[in-house]
Structure 1
Amino acid sequence: MSDLILHHYPSSPFSEKVRLILGAKKLAWKSVHIPMVMPKPDVLALTGGYRRTPFLQVGADIYCDTALICDVLEHRQPLPSLYPAAEKGLARIVAQWADSTLFWAAMAHNLQPKGAASMFEGMPPEALKAFAADRGAMSQGMTRLRPADATAAYKSYLRRIAHMLDQNPFLLGDAPCVADFAVYHPLWFTRERTPVMADIFHATPVVLEWMDRMAALGHGQSERLSSTDAIALARASTPAALHDEYFQDEHGIALGSHVSITAESFGPEPTEGELISATRTQFTLRRTDERAGTVHVHFPRVGFVLRAVK
């Protein structure tokens, strides 16, 4: 069975979501640190355009977006499950809300002037300018909350999270599920990366207690791997056989077509390739890179846009 290779960087909140899931499932994994900002030539060699953090590599298969990565890890190690049998739909819906609405409210609160000054303290001016330009390019067309509105919303969301913890140690019961990991990572960023903004938690101590329980899950067993070695491993591997799943055509685009897949928001860079699978939950593109060889790049349907390339 091929190694799990997570391409990430330590301060990435969505990476923390996946690192904790790896810990909860007690999975061993290889750790490839990638740059925070463009250029990312080693990332693009594998993904073909997608450059959000993190992504997961398994041999010559590349999995984009943490919602899909969660499914891959669940398949690799079904227990403990991310999706409680009685509340699978609810767990996924809460996770989707946390990865979008909660995340952007938290980040707008975190990166107010005081938080940004703390986070970027000691960073050279040219590096700060590069980071701002990079994130500006990734968020073109997005509507951002104003700081005061973000803080008010964040406080309300923390109270609602606290209500979910009134009777249970985790959000939906006695064990953490995908909802816990998705809700945790934006709050982790506030607490760990912009601690000067963490007084927002004072009104909800039960949330801090839950965060301590989540942090105790750890990150599993990891071993560093260079991006060069990861690319070489992809080149030496053959993509896994696709399951014979029903082709769900919502776009009038046939398998074998040259297509692009782009995130609906944040990170507009497209990945192009041959559409070789379109199931009810995901798309798969086949593409060839001069360094990585032939790879399959997988995306979830939810949150991504498929287009034919003429």
Structure 2
Amino acid sequence: MPTELILHHYPTSPFAEKIRLILGFKKLAWKSVLIPAVMPKPDVLALTGGYRKTPVLQVGADVYCDTALICDVLEHIAPEPTLYPAHLKGVCRIFAQWADSTLFWTAMAYNFQPGGAAQVFADAPPEFARSFAEDRKAMRVNMTSLRPADAASAYRSYLRRIAHMADEHDFLFGIDACVADFAAYHPLWFTRTRTPAMADILAATPSVLEWMDRMAATGHGLPEKFTSADAIEVARNAGPRPAGGNLLVDSAFQDDHGIALGSRVTVTGESFGPEPTEGELIAATRTHYSLRREDPRAGTVHVHFPRIGYVLKKADAT
């Protein structure tokens, strides 16, 4: 089976930066497919069937959605250095979930105030700024946005709390980085690199800036340019791994929905990104769902989602 890692991403995506740094942390080679920041994304949807968030990791004809699940895949491929130290397995995952949600959305509400937004779109035509705003609004249908003043207050508090950790160690939980560091880093990276007009908020926590420098030094591993057409051809030629034989460690069926394997189902994000992916349910384990789907261009693909943050329904119930 193909083992090449293909990351579908764009350079300014914070969540893509999280995964790029983890690829560097694990010193992995990977193929870099650049995708649009906004819809339409026909080549992405050929692989995912509906999921359109960034990034997506492809291995052959297996497609892994959501960075929480991608982290588990990369840990399986390269167990050392670990993202989940034995003595921190619970706390680092819980912290990472908080950072990927509460911290991220707080930082983005702060970053996209007028001064920050002007920098993000400084080199883009006006129509792109409009399409970006419309695109993200469509993805946030089930979310309530923080007001800028509230976001600024919360962001300052969160930065102070992260500083309390960075004051004590080189990384948030000790002498080595773990998944918590990568999850906390990427929204701050966006503030510092994409909206420098807003980055003064970081100056009050110098230990956080020093920690960010250590994180940035991790690098992005060994990327190689690749085209989306080539990635789709890889999927078509590879065929997916057997159900239960993918790059995720658990395979036992856990039925919490009364939906049998083989059923036609949809999987949809709980909040951000309402677009469903439809397919045949081939795995529902304690950590993830897997769907088999057919695409005219990509052939048979298996699309994988984490359980946490996603909603499983029978296709005729949506």
Q: CA deviation at 1:243?
A: 2.5
2: CA distance between counterparts of 1:32 and 1:300? Answer: 22
CA RMSD of aligned residues (A): 0.8
Corresponding residue for 1:232? Answer: 233
Number of corresponding residues = 310
Contact kept, 8 Å, 2:61 with 2:234, in 1: the verdict is yes
Gaps (5+ residues) in structure 2? 246-250
Corresponding residue for 1:191? Answer: 192
Of 257, 270, 279, the residue aligned with 2:285 is 279
1:258 aligns with 2:264: yes
1:87 aligns with 2:88: yes
Q: CA deviation at 1:242?
A: 2.8
Corresponding residue for 1:166? Answer: 167
2: CA distance between counterparts of 1:202 and 1:223? Answer: 35
Q: CA offsets, 1:45-99, max 9 Å, x none?
A: 0000000000100000000000000000000000000001101000000000000
1: CA distance between counterparts of 2:244 and 2:281? Answer: 15
Q: CA deviation at 1:241?
A: 2.2
Corresponding residue for 2:139? Answer: 138
Secondary structure of the corresponding residue to residue 306 of structure 1: strand
Q: CA deviation at 1:204?
A: 0.2
Q: How does 1:280-295 map to 2 (within 5 A)?
A: 280-295=286-301
1: CA distance between counterparts of 2:106 and 2:184? Answer: 12
Q: CA deviation at 1:115?
A: 0.7
Q: CA deviation at 1:124?
A: 1.4
1: CA distance between counterparts of 2:170 and 2:12? Answer: 26
Q: CA deviation at 1:27?
A: 0.2
Q: CA deviation at 1:237?
A: 0.4
1: CA distance between counterparts of 2:19 and 2:123? Answer: 28
1: CA distance between counterparts of 2:202 and 2:152? Answer: 11
The one-letter code matched in structure 1 to 2:82 is S
Corresponding residue for 2:248? Answer: none
Percent of aligned positions with the same letter in both sequences? 70
Gaps (5+ residues) in structure 1? none
Q: How does 1:9-88 map to 2 (within 5 A)?
A: 9-88=10-89
Secondary structure of the corresponding residue to residue 81 of structure 1: coil
Q: CA offsets, 1:7-40, max 9 Å, x none?
A: 0000000000000000000000000000000000
Contact kept, 8 Å, 2:239 with 2:299, in 1: the verdict is no
Corresponding residue for 2:211? Answer: 210
TM-score by length of 1: 0.99
2: CA distance between counterparts of 1:241 and 1:23? Answer: 29
The one-letter code matched in structure 2 to 1:256 is G
Q: CA offsets, 1:129-149, max 9 Å, x none?
A: 111110110111211000000
Runs of 4 or more, structure 1, over 3 Å off, are none
2: CA distance between counterparts of 1:296 and 1:19? Answer: 23
Corresponding residue for 1:305? Answer: 311
Q: CA offsets, 1:214-245, max 9 Å, x none?
A: 00000000101000000000000021123373
The one-letter code matched in structure 2 to 1:254 is A
1:247 aligns with 2:253: yes
TM-score by length of 2: 0.96
